[in-house]
Structures are given as C-alpha cells and as structure tokens.
Chain A
Amino acid sequence: MNGHHRVLTLIPAHNEAASLPAVVGELRQRRRDLDVLVVDDGSSDHTTELLRELGVQWLHWPERRGVGRALRAGLRYAARQGYDLVVRLDADGQHHVEDVERLLVPLLAGRADVVLGSRFVESNGTRRPGPIQRSLGALLSMITGRTVTDPTSGFWALGPRAVALLAEHHPAGYPEPELHLFLSRNALRVMEVDVQSRARMHGRSSLTPTRLLGAGARIALALLIVPFRATDGSADD
C-alpha cells in the first residue's frame, strides 16, 4: 500500500540486546516492505555485535550521546538515502508493529507532516497518563495550541518535509517534549493517532527521578527559548 514511497523504520538503541532481536524479527515478519535502521548509541552490552546478525542497516558510535542525537543522525541518514517517510519506534518492544500502518496512513494521504502515536488518546479511556505527563501535556497543549495527550511518546512517523527539517534540527538530550515545541514553531502539520503499548520486554525505563528533573529544567528552558528561535532552528552565526 506504500506504492512508490520508501519507508525507513528508525530504532534508537542503547543496551537493548535483550529485546532488539524480537523487535526486528516482528518487523521483518509483518512489514517486509520497510527498511530498518538501528542507531546504536554507544551500547556497552552486545547490541553492537548483534547488529551484524540482524541483517539491518545501522549507525554506531562508541560513546553514549543521547536518544535525540541518535534520532537526528538516523534522520540524516534517511534524508541522505532518499527515504520519504520515517517511522520511529523503541527497541524495548513496547510498541506494536501493527500500529505502524495507523501512523503511515495520514502521511500517505498527505494529511499530516508528523503523526504521533499516543497511548492516551481521549477515545480510549482505559489507560491514563501519570500526573507528570498530564501536566506536561497540558502545558504543551497550551503553548502549541494543539491537544498533546502523550508528550513523551517514542512512537511517531514523519513525512518528507519533517524528515528534511529534523535531520538538521532534531532536539538533543531528552527530546520528546522539545520536539512538540519545535514542530509547532515550524508550522508542521501534526496529528495524533491512538496506539497500543505494552510493558517493555526487558530492562527499565530510562526515566529516573534525576533524569526527569534534568528533563524538566531543559523543557522549561526550551519553553522560554524555542518560540523565539528562527523558524528552522538553525544557529544564528
């Protein structure tokens, strides 16, 4: 159904050797039409050795640089290789491969530049975001003028315009909330769709209280600064 479009699945991974093979396997089984790029962000387990056996494309560097930079590099690769559409999902297996189609449909129909998978869309009332996510979502909704139900979602798809822009300027650090600000600042058409999520297969969430505090400070700064940046986010020098 993707016609002439080239779609790249982007999976940032840091020490995900336990779950990565299953995620790639599921993609291979259900979506043979999608190419897969794993961005290995300085893993110290055997993720790096695994990449050779998985038969995927990959980027690798020896030191951890953060998921934001990993995504930016992956998007730059996608732009360079001529992919139109990019889907990002997590290496921990929390996202369902069958939901990829729901993310791609609005892009293929030209109705959006960015489709965000949300675990907490109003229509399905079974799951509820925690208090921090809810307040962050409310804050981002207020600033972007668009309902943000899942500010920390790591499951999204980008159309050509968003790929080109984010390949240069994807926020570094703890990027998901900052991404919302960037998208709204650059007038990209953003849409949320309902997606499932399941408990991660292995390991723990990277959101420790300390990280959350650091992320909060970064987001506060971004809230002040991003709205006043030049629209493509480039440095002024």
Chain B
Amino acid sequence: MTDRVQVLALTGSVLFLLFVLELVRRRRLAEEYSALWIVSALALIGISLRRDVLDFAARWMGVYYPPAVLVLMLVAIISVASLSFSVILSRQQRQIDRLIEENAIMAAELRELRWKREANAGGSAIRPVSEPSLSSPIATVSASDIVVDATVKPRNH
C-alpha cells in the first residue's frame, strides 16, 4: 500500500539523512554531534517504510490516532536534542571560563616576570608604578577587536 503520504515521508526522511551526512562530510557538523540526527533520520525512514510499526506502537500505547505517535516521536527527538545542546553549551562555557582565567593568570605571571627582570637589571626593586605598554596586549584585547568571519571556509580542491 503505497500512497502519496508515504512517498513524501520517505523522500523527506532520506533527504534529511543525506543532508546530515553531507554536513558531516563538509565538516560543518562534528561527528560527535551528528549521531542523534542520523539515528533520528533512520527512525523516520523506518517508520515511513513500515507504517504498521506506527500502528502497532499506537495500539500498544493506547493511542487511537496513529499519526499522533509520530508527532510524539518528533517532540521526543527535539527535546533530547535541546537538552544535549544545553549540556554541550555548559561544557563549552566551562572550557571558556577556564581559558579566560588561565589567560588572565598567565598575563599576570608574565607581568610579574617582567617586573622581576627589570628589578634585576638594575632598576628599582619595588614594583614600578607604571609598566611598559607592551606588557598588556593579551589582557586588554576587547571582544570587538576579535574578528571571526564564519563565512570564510577553507576549501579542499
């Protein structure tokens, strides 16, 4: 029993899977984050091919309208995806925090070393009231100075 909705669902799911794989191939999507989408796409293909699975699941769950199970499934996929984004976001925030702090500490250590070196080189032994301007570019770079052009991609020929 092939009908229009089945053809549409199958086409859509396959295109979705190909799109995900293409993103991975072009390194726009990291392998580690692609698993969820690939599994989801395969599940959608499976259901498009065998609609009786959906009917069976609906009967088992006591749902009278089988397409509602499909919607439920999509909601579940999106919820899992969102939650995993939050986990990834938290991990990245932790990493960024760490980097900012390490960078600030290293800038301070570098400053101290310069002070010490100047003191040893015959300067005064106390910390100078003003330091040479070269000792702070790392620490004072502001967010607006950093240009990240996401549109420029390395190309393989």
What is the interface of chain A, defined by CB distance below 8 A to chain B?
37, 48, 52-53, 55, 57-63, 65, 69, 72-73, 76-77, 80, 172, 235, 237
**Could you name 14 residue pairs across A and B whose Cβ atoms are closer than 8 Å?**
A48-B140, A55-B129, A58-B108, A59-B107, A60-B140, A61-B100, A61-B103, A61-B139, A62-B140, A65-B100, A73-B105, A77-B105, A172-B97, A235-B94
* Interfacial residues of chain B within 101-136, with CB under 8 A of chain A in the complex: 101, 103-105, 107-109, 111-112, 126-131
Size class of the contact patch on chain B: 20 to 34
Q: Is the CB of A52 within 8 A of B108?
A: no
Q: Does B141 contact A (CB under 8 A)?
A: yes
Q: Is the CB of B101 within 8 A of A73?
A: yes
Residues of chain A contacted by B108 (CB below 8 angstroms): 37, 57-59, 77
Binding site for A on B (CB under 8 A): 91, 94, 97, 100-101, 103-105, 107-109, 111-112, 126-131, 139-143
Task: Find out whether the CB atom of A53 lies under 8 angstroms from the CB atom of B130.
Answer: yes
Select B139's contact among A60, A65, A237, beta carbons within 8 Å.
A60
Contact A59 B112 (CB under 8 A): no
Closest B residue, CB atoms, query A237: B91
CA distance A48 to B108 in the complex (A): 13
Contact at B100–A60, with CB atoms within 8 Å? Answer: no
B103: chain A residues within 8 A (beta carbon): 61
A76 with B129: in contact, given A57-B112, A62-B141, A62-B143 (CB under 8 Å)?
no
